[in-house]
Amino acid sequence: MWQKLFDPENRFWIFMNKITDVFILSVCWLLFSLPVITCGAATVALFQFTLKQVDNTEGYVFRSFRRAFVQNFRQATLLWLSFLAGCVFFVCDFRALLFYHMPPLFRVIVFAVAVSLAFLFSVMFCYAFPVLACFKVSVRKALGNGLVMAFQHVGRTFCILAVYMFFIWLAYLRPLFTPLFFALALFSAAYLFRRIFNGYLSDGRDTKNTEHDRNS
């Protein structure tokens, strides 16, 4: 019994090792995101590692994270800039709805349209980053395929959104631990994303997650 308890191959210790890796990942993500413009590449790198964790094919944390950051930098940065542009658009849109005078009925209609578009925007980018981390696709395909996947798996999509909202709430309560909560959110969501992505994989060689970093 005691031998099994302290066996490093025990499921408990394997899980604890993954949580330790997530803590290190949160530090890596924070450091690599400091210039702000690199936040997208850091997020894709974090997703790529957590997706490997689900398959138990992850390598050394910093080495794998840095490699994924470099490999995905261009595409992930374009995706990140697109996300920021969309956020600016919706912020301006909702500010206009709140402060500009317009007929009440027209305001309600425009507000409903804006909320619907904001929801589609959120769901699309919710999938786009992990899609870019898992598949060799362009930014345009990551966005398009992400939106299609989201509506093909509505139940899991809402579960993923619930996971994100839970960790956003925790970050609101404890802002100092935001990087850790962010990494934990992506780690938790990776299990749901992996189940979704597996249905689209006809050949594992088509993904970015088949490389065993420890052997490189």
For residue 210, what are the contacts with CB-CB under 8 A and spacing of at least 6? 57, 204
Q: What is the pLDDT at residue 213?
A: 43
Q: What is the pLDDT at residue 212?
A: 43
Q: What is the pLDDT at residue 215?
A: 39
17: amino acid identity, one letter: N
Q: What is the pLDDT at residue 114?
A: 92
Q: What is the pLDDT at residue 37?
A: 94
Rounded (10°) angle between helices 104-134 and 154-173: 100
How would you label 123-153 residue by residue, b for 16+ Cβ within 10 Å and e otherwise?
A: bbbbbbbbbbbbbebebeebbebbbebbeeb
Backbone angles phi, psi at 207, to 5 degrees: -105, 175
Q: What is the pLDDT along the chain (216 residues), one digit of tens a residue?
A: 445 545 556 666 677 788 888 999 999 999 999 989 999 999 999 999 999 988 877 778 899 999 999 999 999 999 999 999 999 999 998 888 888 888 888 888 988 999 999 999 999 999 999 999 999 899 999 999 999 999 999 999 999 999 999 999 999 999 999 999 999 999 999 999 999 998 887 545 445 544 444 333
Q: What is the pLDDT at residue 10?
A: 63
Instruction: Give the Cβ contact number of residue 81 at 10 Å.
Output: 13
Q: What is the pLDDT at residue 173?
A: 95
